[in-house]
Every structure is written in C-alpha cells, then in structure tokens.
Copies of this chain bind each other. A is one copy, B any other.
C-alpha cells in the first residue's frame, strides 16, 4: 500500500488556517513564509514516504517484542529513528533556548499528519517526546531543563507520559503511585503505571518518564497530584547517564493495532525522581502537554483517514466490477455511484477534520505569537474551545474513513495482506487515548463552553454565520443555526440539569464539528476559486458533497441534544439493573 503526503492539500489548509496575510513576510508566520513551509513539508514527505512508510507493515506484523524487561522494536526501526534525529525533525516546534527551531505549531501539525500517515506506530514516539518537551519548557526548573531538555529536543533521548494506573484511567483522582521526599530535593517513586507508550524501547540510550504521583501529605483527589521527571538512567558522579534507575518495564500489551508501538506496564520501585513545577500542582503541568497531545491525536485521525482515502480511491480506480449506469462494459468501481459516495464521504470528512485541526493549531500559534494581549487571549480561548472538537471529531472520522476503506476493498479489505484492515485497527485507539472522545465532549460542554461567560463559543458562531452567508448551500447556514440553538440549550442545561446536558455532549460535539467543517470547507472552496488554485474544482466538489450529505445531519443532532437527554436520564435506573 502506498501513501503520498498530500502536500498541496496540506499547504492549502495551512494557508487557510493561517489567515489572509499570514504567510507574508510581515505576518504572524514570517518565519515560514517565502517557501519555507513548502520546502519543509516536501522534505518531510520525502523522509516519511522513503523511510517510515516501508516500516509500517513490519511494525504491524512483527511488532515491538518484550523479553525479560527489554523491548525490541521491529527490524529497521532503530535505523529509521537515527535518521529521524539526524534530519532534525524532532526539534521543529521546540523553543530555541534548548536547541529547538521554534517554528510554528501549524507547520509542526502538517508534519505530524505526514509522519502519522506514513507510520502511526513510529510517529507515536516523537509525539510523546514532544509532549514531554512542552511540559518541561513550561514548568521545569532551569537545572532540569539544562540536564534533560536539550537531549529530548534533539531526539537523543525520548520522553513519556505516565498517567494511567489500573484503577485510574479517565479519573486521575484515583491514582495511587506514591512519591516520598528524599531530603536532598529528589524523590522516591513507587507504583504501577499502565498503557505507557514507548515506556521502554531500544531506539535511544535514555528514556525520560514524566510520572504523576502523590506525596504522603497530598490532599485527596486531583489537587494532590504532583508531576515528576524519572529518567531510566541517572547521572553518575562523572555526569554520564549510566546509573540505572529503579524502574522497569513489566510487559507490553497485546493490542488490536499500533503493534509497532510498545504499550508498556511500568513499575517504579523506589525510583529516583525530580519534581516538575510545584508539589500538588502536577495536573496543571500535565494538562499543558495533554492539550497539545490531544491535537496531535486528532491529526493522527486525519492522517489515517487521508491514507485510507488514498488507498480506497486507488483501488476503486483499478478494480473493475459490474456496469455503472449507462456503461456498456464492465466499469471501474469508482464509477458506481454508491462507491463514489463512500469515497466522497471519506475525502470530505478528512478535509473537514484537517481544516478544524489546523484552525485550532493556528489559534495556538496566535495565542503564543500575537503581540496584542487581547487578541492573544481570544486566540488562546479559541484553541481551548476547539481542541476537544478537533481531537474527537478527527479520531471519529478516522474510524469511519478507515472502515469505509475496508468496505470499498470488499472481501480484499478483510484480508490482512491488503493493509487497509491494519489502518482500521491502528485508527481505533485514537478515539480512546489522550482522553476518550466522551471525555472530550464532557470537557467541551462542561468547561470550554463556560469560558469567559460563553464568549468564545459566541465568537465562533459569529464567524461561522459570516461564512454561511456567503455559501451557496442553505444547509450550511442551517447547520450553523442548529449549532447556535443547541449551544443556547446546552449553556442553560449545564446549569439547570447537568445530567441532561451531559447526555447530549457527544451529539453536541459532532454538531459543532459539522457546522465548523461545512463553513471551513466553503471558505476554502471560495478562496481556491478566487485564487485559481489548481484544486479548486475538487475543493468545491468536496464542500458541495459535505453540505448536502454530511452537514444535513445537523438539525437531527440538534434535536438529539435539545430533546434527547430526558430519554437517557430516565433510562438510568433500567441500566443500573
């Protein structure tokens, strides 16, 4: 199975999200103007297609193997990771203070899609390192930064996130890993962490674990959690990091997909750790990295949807079965309207999800880069509002598109050799990790809607209304108004009857994404036409299809939100048994 990084679509989406002036030399994105973005992505595509894609099947078939505490990645992965480091890909978005290039998150997002499109199991390793980098940049002491950050930025070492325990998944208040003060400023950690992505592996010499744990005098619940840096190897007196810390991998999981990525059980047995940020304030530190990781997981959904769309389209053009309407000979299945519907569903969902993810990332960039504090604050709220939508919608459509690809392939899709079944298996984790999509929906209606008294969502609605007014399709305005109406209901319900509000959280998030997706696709189609973009016809076709076949679900979703909650809450007793 082939995959070509969709460079034209990535650049187009990047420009659309960056805004009108963005890629000009004096704009917010001066550092990637003048062809820098295009060149970087072309190089990324070359590396991903040439080095990462060929390893994707071996990652699935052979996987990461565990034996006696040691994890061995699939053949070729060590060499590919060495090239990854040498290419400098790890450092794109990190701050320049510790060796990063400081390039915009938006450019990194486009690269992230490319890495994941080629090989999600490989891409997970730097994705986690990137989260660790952000947490350390924001919260670690100067000494910790000096000792650890530069080597994670360069890719010489990798980073992990240690949150989950068997009894504490979505609910971190329940975690039990203990940290005790050593008296010298360091701590000793004891506990079991599960589902630790790249918790142990053979790609690098040292692995830097970021671990949530509880101090003996910690308050109960999430306000008693602290974040620690716990390296696999500690420094000797000489300064060399060769002293083995008291932590080990007890096994890797046998999973539905992402077999190339070791999902480890980690045991901390009086392991030495160092506090990041302040005691009992670990959750805030962790959320720094989780928010960005959530967006990256959204991009994984986009990436797999894109790859599945490419595979299905290529197969549909080649496979000949039956006669399409009006045909006199056996047709390529792409000519059958029902197959065309599947392909257009995949492609338009992918384009919509990418537009939402990039829009969210551009808001992050503006929050960090805009000199105007008011604009920066608004952008920060916008990024917060859109992040759960970007994560959940993109990973949901990752599942939908990869499953549709299996359907387009028919019986061949169900055979593992074809490779599309792997995409479906790999994609399925994305709606679960970094906060399940249900958690995203609850975050959206429970915390994000209420930001600044609802101002962020009101701004979003006004932006969508302006775009809908320019659309050729009444369905787009209808989707936006459905969302506006559901938003009014939701703001009210979360105060008056939280259970009924929460019962509608998932359809509300989907509704948000359909309205936002439809308006962004229309915006893109109009801009492409104005600029005589060579892909204008395709962007118009996808926007047309989305408006008439996907966004039409909006009024039904709004009714599920505004009228469906009672049917959930009244069934509560029956479900409890």
Which residue numbers of A lie inside 8 Å of B, CB to CB? 164, 167-171, 173-174, 194-195, 253-257, 313, 316-317, 320-322, 324-326, 330, 332, 334-344, 399, 403, 406-407, 410-411, 413-417, 421, 424-425, 428-429, 431-433, 436-438, 441-442, 475, 498-500, 502-503, 505-507, 537-538, 541-542, 544-545, 547-549, 552-557, 559-560, 563-572, 574-577
- A-B CB proximity, top 4 nearest: A337-B503, A171-B321, A337-B502, A541-B571
Most buried by B among A330, A335, A559: A559
Give min CB distance, A447 to chain B, whole Å.
14
Assuming the A-B contacts A407-B432, A416-B256, A442-B338, are A343 and B499 also in contact, with contact meaning beta carbons closer than 8 angstroms in the complex?
no
Task: List residues of chain B with CB within 8 A of the CB of A574.
Answer: 537-538, 541
Indicate if the CB atoms of A560 and B568 lie closer than 8 Å. no
Task: List residues of chain B with CB within 8 A of the CB of A316.
Answer: 575
Indicate if the CB atoms of A170 and B410 lie closer than 8 Å. yes
Of the residues B164, B334, B407, B560, contact of A576 by C-beta under 8 Å? B334
With both beta carbons as reference points, the residue of chain B lying nearest to A399 in the complex is identified as B403
Of the residues B337, B343, B410, contact of A569 by C-beta under 8 Å? B337
A544 to B503, CA, bound (A): 14
Task: List residues of chain B with CB within 8 A of the CB of A406.
Answer: 256, 428, 432
A324 to B552, CA, bound (A): 32
Q: How many copies does the complex hold?
A: 2
Indicate if the CB atoms of A254 and B416 lie closer than 8 Å. yes
Most buried by B among A428, A429, A498: A428
Assuming the A-B contacts A340-B568, A425-B256, A570-B544, are A432 and B415 also in contact, with contact meaning beta carbons closer than 8 angstroms in the complex?
no
Indicate if the CB atoms of A502 and B338 lie closer than 8 Å. yes
What are 8 A-B contacts defined by CB distance under 8 Å? A170-B321, A171-B322, A337-B502, A338-B502, A547-B567, A548-B564, A549-B568, A552-B559
Task: List residues of chain B with CB within 8 A of the CB of A341.
Answer: 503, 506, 568
With both beta carbons as reference points, the residue of chain B lying nearest to A343 in the complex is identified as B575
Of the residues B164, B336, B417, B421, contact of A411 by C-beta under 8 Å? B164
Most buried by B among A173, A437, A548: A548
Task: List residues of chain B with CB within 8 A of the CB of A424.
Answer: 256, 428
Give min CB distance, A552 to chain B, whole Å.
4
A442 to B542, CA, bound (A): 23
